[in-house]
Amino acid sequence: FPEMLSNPRLTALQGTLNVVMNQNVTLSCQPNTGSPPVTYILFKHNQKVSTLNRPDLTPALFNLTINSASDLGEYKCKAENNITSGGKYSNSLIFTLLEPISKPVLSSPISEVKKGQRVTLSCLSENGSLPITYIFFKGKQNISPPVKMQKREAAVIFLFINSSSDFGTYKCRAENSFYNNTKYSNSFNFTLAEERSHSQPLLISLGLILLLLVIGLGLAIPFFIIPSYKASE
């Protein structure tokens, strides 16, 4: 007996919706039940992309190439037969574009620090698909757990510069889901700020006082010498 179609299921044969630019993908559209023949229509953003006819209930396979960001839109398929008015629509699929990350930049608001000072380090990759995971290193030793950022924001850690060993070379590493894509940042070094001696301000003050006394004495001498000279005449 003629049977109405069930809602078809749209799947990606590559098993994942994560794709890279210029990748070829195949979408499969198939209902579980219904009387053939079946006409399948693939839509992207509600616009018809392709139509396939099948004499039986074998899946319709739509081959696509991801060439631009517009190809990442919402996909649906519709199945129609002679007795299903208006056809039946599938679930939606949306691809996610995987982009390689750029070299991260490691920075800090300050580079000259004093012992015992609290500092921050920031690591950011300007490009690359999210999420991005960052790890901080001093030398070859990691100094932080992985920090996964879901937004295009820098990963930040806080450090205390307590000893001379804390003035080593720092780096960070960034990676995302793009295959075999890991990037290391530039190197960053803190330097020890020169601490002024407490005696320096005192010496400067004493020097200024002494200079003022000399100038004052130089100005006062004529007032004492000239009157005494006139009195002796």
pLDDT tens, residue by residue, 101-144 = 999 999 999 999 998 899 999 999 999 999 999 999 999 999 99
Per-residue model confidence (pLDDT) at position 198: 47
Q: How far apart are CA 27 and CA 18, in angstroms?
A: 13
Per-residue model confidence (pLDDT) at position 124: 98
Cβ partners under 8 Å of residue 4, min gap 6: 34, 35, 81, 83, 84
Q: Which three-class secondary structure state does DSSP give residue 207?
A: helix
For residue 62, what are its two tokens? 């739509």
Domains and CATH numbers, the chain: 8-97 (2.60.40.10), 105-192 (2.60.40.10)
Per-residue model confidence (pLDDT) at position 104: 98
Q: Which position has the higher pLDDT, 116 or 63?
A: 63
pTM above 0.75, yes or no: no
Mean pLDDT of the chain: 88
Q: How far apart are CA 189 and CA 139, in angstroms?
A: 11
Per-residue model confidence (pLDDT) at position 228: 54
Instruction: Write the DSSP symbol of residue 100.
Output: P
pLDDT confidence tier of residue 203, bands split at 50, 70 and 90: low
On whether the CB atoms of residues 97 and 67 are closer than 8 A, the answer is no
Q: How far apart are CA 89 and CA 77, in angstroms?
A: 6
Q: How far apart are CA 122 and CA 198, in angstroms?
A: 34
Per-residue model confidence (pLDDT) at position 83: 87
Q: Is 45 left (phi over 0), alpha (psi -120 to 50) or beta?
A: left
In this prediction, residues 10-24 reach a mean pLDDT of 93
In this prediction, residues 165-178 reach a mean pLDDT of 92
On whether the CB atoms of residues 93 and 13 are closer than 8 A, the answer is no
Cβ partners under 8 Å of residue 165, min gap 6: none
Instruction: Write the DSSP symbol of residue 144.
Output: S
In this prediction, residues 19-48 reach a mean pLDDT of 94
Bridge partners of residue 53, in order along the sequence: 39
Q: How far apart are CA 161 and CA 149, in angstroms?
A: 26
Q: Where are the alpha helices (DSSP H) in the chain?
A: 199-232
